[in-house]
Amino acid sequence: MPGMKLLYRSLFFALLLIDWLPVSIMAQTDTVIADTDAAKHIGEKVTVEGIVVEVFTHGRNFFIDLGNPYPNQSITGWIPENSELADESRFYDLEGKKIKMTGTIKLYKGKPEIKLMSKDQLILE
């Protein structure tokens, strides 16, 4: 049954390609930028790296500012209270450390911001 063997091989190859393709596309679109360039990438999904200068809370929300303290920060990582990260008290230990935040940059009151909902969006360097 040479026809069946060819069909199985073709199916196996197609499954490998489907499994590999999303990873390849994600790797091509994952751009790393400096926090000072965040305002140039509004609406884009990127990874922003920089030094944490301030961590504070407002209600049950956490805010991580890079570059400069609020209101002159280059970008803020906003961790809403319904995020899986919201109960993390370790954020205060981030001040002075280099981090990477991944997500879509949006403007909030004229300043760049990334909404952080999961642990894989925030990496300590």
The structure's pTM equals: 0.75
CA 68 to the chain's CA centroid: 20
Q: Is the pLDDT score of 74 beyond 80?
A: yes
3-state secondary structure of 102: strand
21-62 pLDDT, tens digit per residue, is 444 344 334 689 999 999 999 999 999 999 999 999 999 899
Q: Is the pLDDT score of 78 beyond 90?
A: yes
Q: Which residue has 């303290």 as its token pair? A: 69
Q: Which domains does the chain have, with CATH numbers?
A: 30-124 (2.40.50.140)
